[in-house]
Chain A
Amino acid sequence: MSDLQSQDYVRRSASTLTPPSARNYEQEVAKLIDVSRCIGCKACQSACMEWNDLRSEVGYFEGSYDNPSDLGPSTWTLMRFTEWENEQGNLEWLIRKDGCMHCEDPGCLKACPAPGAIVQYATGIVDFISENCIGCGYCVKGCPFDIPRISPVDHKSYKCTLCSDRVTVGLEPACVKACPTGAIMFGSKTDMTAWAGDRIVDLKSRGFENAGLYDPPGVSGTHVMYVLHHADRPSLYAGLPDKPRISPFVEVWKGVLKPLALAGIAFTALAGFFHWVIVGPNEVQPEDEAEGQRLLRDAEDPK
């Protein structure tokens, strides 16, 4: 999204200074997706396309209800359909609205090398600021949920903004507005967690004993949460990670390696400089020239 809010950052990619954050008296928000109430109508997908002016290219039928078949630079949310035969031998149709989870500890932001290309507002929303994006794809490697997609046309990374432009002016995200069953709710994270609690009690009373809230602690919680009937097995839902976390490879790359590599380079350069100061240049002496020339002369006319 464009840089609509620029004074309520809690995090800013590739920045070593405190980002502008005076306007931070905001509640942390969350979108709650109650998978048990979703009917798979894709109204949220349409609303997302409509509000954000997105039209992905028409693809091909891939043998599933997923349409388009994957997230993309112009597909920021996608219903993923899973047909699962449960222990009783009954078919369960698990439908999950996929998209950015707006992690409290965003891996994309941690991996991003471009200052200010990824920001997190005080609301918790993680936003891509396209003018700063360099198209390197590091956010793709940082993300534990496989969400960002790089456009092959403009080489910018795209994902759900949680309708940060709407939320800024007090509106709910477009997908929430469009959902006909109330499966997508939006509000403060506290309210959404409380609401999810009620839903889980209800689901448990109806036999879904493993119902629960998906707010994974591995990424310090998310600002998009799911109510799952089978919260003990999130991966049933089209591969939702069971225990998402920023990859340890990314943690090393973006953590210890950065200062260590620079220190190693600086140390080597300083070692060279001080060797010069202490020992100094190694110069050819007149005796060397005499010896060298004598050797060549002797070789030319052996006595």
Chain B
Amino acid sequence: MTRPRGTLVRNAAASRINHWITAGCFVLLLLSGLSMFHPLLFWLSELFGGGQWTRAVHPWIGVVLLLSYAGMIVQFWRDNMWSRDDIAWMRAIDRVLVNEEEGVPEVGRFNAGQKFVFWSMALLVPVLFFTGIVIWEVYFSSYTTIEQQRIAVLIHCLAAAAAIIVWIVHVYAAIWIRGSVRTMTQGYVTPGWAWRHHRKWLRRLAATGSVGPRPGAGGDGRPV
């Protein structure tokens, strides 16, 4: 992707590909999962070729999502480490929510909300995977008791509902904070975007002469 002059790399191409594989899997899992969760949504199974196909394909998509999200963790865990500044930012969330970011503590590459989304999914995806294995009737039903499967399916549904809620927060935030969608499509942001939303990140990039996404890195994430 050509990056306009004077802009900064927010997400390298590999991260973006990784993100969209994860996102695609998540949406497919959400649609197929909800169709098997509530009768009002059973019609969604038609998108997958009917109930049998939905039942068969859902767990495989889950496997791809787990692997894909593992890649996300590898790429993003460092910038998502929790710090004391995040607490200060959370305290000022009321200002953030009304688009008044002046006076809100400066933010590094990710703010506390983004970190919350990241770590929530880092917890929920493995929970969904392992409970999903237990209720993957075709291959794994003989390894657990029926009572264990009952507990697993209940946890699976709870975790799925939580993940969908976190996902809505994530998607809405991307729409709300203008310029965020482009960080995952074309991958770049303007200096003004970085100044407004991630000033500490911008300062670090500037200090190391980096164009992003990490201090000391240039172009598509390669160290300069």
Contact = CB atoms under 8 A, between A and B. Distances in A.
Interface of A: 14-16, 113-115, 132-138, 140-141, 146, 150, 152, 155, 247, 249-250, 252-253, 257-258, 260-262, 264-265, 268-269, 272, 275-276, 279-286, 288-293, 295-296, 298-300
Interface in B147-200: 147, 149-151, 153-154, 157-158, 160-161, 164-165, 168-169, 172, 175-179, 190-197
Interface of B: 6, 35-40, 42, 45, 50-52, 54-56, 97-99, 101, 135, 137-138, 141, 146-147, 149-151, 153-154, 157-158, 160-161, 164-165, 168-169, 172, 175-179, 190-197, 202-203, 206-207, 209
Contacts of B165: 264-265, 268
A137 B56 CA distance: 12
B191 to A, nearest CB: 3
A16 B150 CA distance: 23
Nearest to A138: B153
Nearest to B156: A253
A155 B52 contact: yes
A264 B161 contact: yes
19 contacts: A113-B39, A133-B51, A134-B45, A135-B52, A135-B55, A135-B56, A136-B36, A140-B141, A247-B147, A249-B151, A261-B157, A269-B168, A272-B172, A279-B99, A281-B176, A282-B197, A291-B195, A292-B196, A295-B195
Contacts, number: 164
A275 B99 CA distance: 11
A251 to B, nearest CB: 10
By DSSP majority rule, is chain B's interface helix, strand, loop, or mixed? helix
A272 B190 contact: no
* Most B Cβ at <10 Å: residue of A268, A269, A292: A292
B38 A262 contact: yes
Nearest to B53: A134
A164 B70 CA distance: 51
A276 B149 contact: no
B149 A140 contact: yes
B52 A134 contact: yes
Nearest to B39: A14
A272 B168 contact: yes
A295 B153 contact: no
A141 B154 CA distance: 11
Contacts of B203: 295
Contacts of B202: 292, 295-296
B198 to A, nearest CB: 10
Nearest to A293: B191
A113 B177 contact: no
